Amino acid sequence: MIRFALLLAVAFLTSSASLLMAQESSVRPGINRAYENPQFDQWVHTFERPGREIYDRRQSIVNATGLEPGMVVADIGAGTGLFTLLFAPRVEPEGRVIAVDISQVFIDNIMRRARAVGADNVQGVLGTATDASLPPASIDLAFVCDTYHHFEYPQKMLASLHRALRPGGSMIVIDFRRIPGFSSPWVMQHVRAGKSTVVREVETAGFQMLGEESFLLGNYFLRFKKP
Ligand SMILES: C[S@@+](CC[C@H](N)C(=O)[O-])C[C@H]1O[C@@H](n2cnc3c(N)ncnc32)[C@H](O)[C@@H]1O
């Protein structure tokens, strides 16, 4: 009996420790190394080039967000500001776009681009790998495009986005389809998890899945809600 109780205690401690480790350690060390000291113009050529599905279908993506004047949208992992700059006129005059990234170089250049086109409703926020650094209940939409697979600490990032959303607010996740035999070797190696894993992780973080858009081929477009 005592031996059984001891075994149970050891099993409990081991599973708690592994849960804690899972939350504390990066799920993909090094995935953001290329953004540590980015050459901005080079990334503009990479993210804003014909042939990239996200870029080619950017107007359809913006339309599908459902953004309206007055809304506050956070572009999580805003990169070069491709979507930040498209969102800005959609939500003006009262609404705002918050460009969140872990790279100060990206944030500085997005702000420079926003000023150049007179988009004065854009704000840049330097986040961390674990936190979007947004005030609680401050945004209507978290837009996560080609960035979920760059989250090294997905549970912590999801918790911070859940906190930042107003009740009833939504989150859109666009990311690469990762399907053996369909996806390129680069995607299979670069992207940690496929759609079903992502849905499970996001639902575990307290989001409710609302649906999916089907107009993208190499990527999926998922819509979630903070209940
Ligand atoms: C592949 S880029 C996508 C850029 C942009 N969303 C697009 O689709 O053009 C991924 C971006 O996510 C940023 N990033 C990675 N982890 C992040 C995190 N935890 N929070 C915010 N941004 C993050 C990177 O610095 C990079 O700018």
The residue extents of the domains of the chain are 39-225
Determine the distance separating the centroid of ligand 1 and the alpha carbon of 175, expressed in angstroms. 11
User: How crowded is residue 41: how many other Cβ atoms within 10 Å of its Cβ?
Assistant: 10
Determine the distance separating the centroid of ligand 1 and the alpha carbon of 5, expressed in angstroms. 47
pLDDT in tens, 24-70: 799 999 999 999 999 999 999 999 999 999 999 999 999 999 999 99
Substitution candidate for ligand 1 out of 150, 153, 171, 216 with most atoms within 8 A of CB: 150
% pLDDT > 70, the chain: 90
Substitution candidate for ligand 1 out of 100, 102, 106, 134 with most atoms within 8 A of CB: 102
Domain 39-225 is found in CATH 3.40.50.150:
yes
* The pLDDT value given to residue 24: 72
Two structure tokens written together for 170: 């939504």
pLDDT in tens, 5-34: 545 444 444 444 444 445 579 999 999 999
Residue nearest to atom 15 of ligand 1 (CA): 150
* The pLDDT value given to residue 52: 98
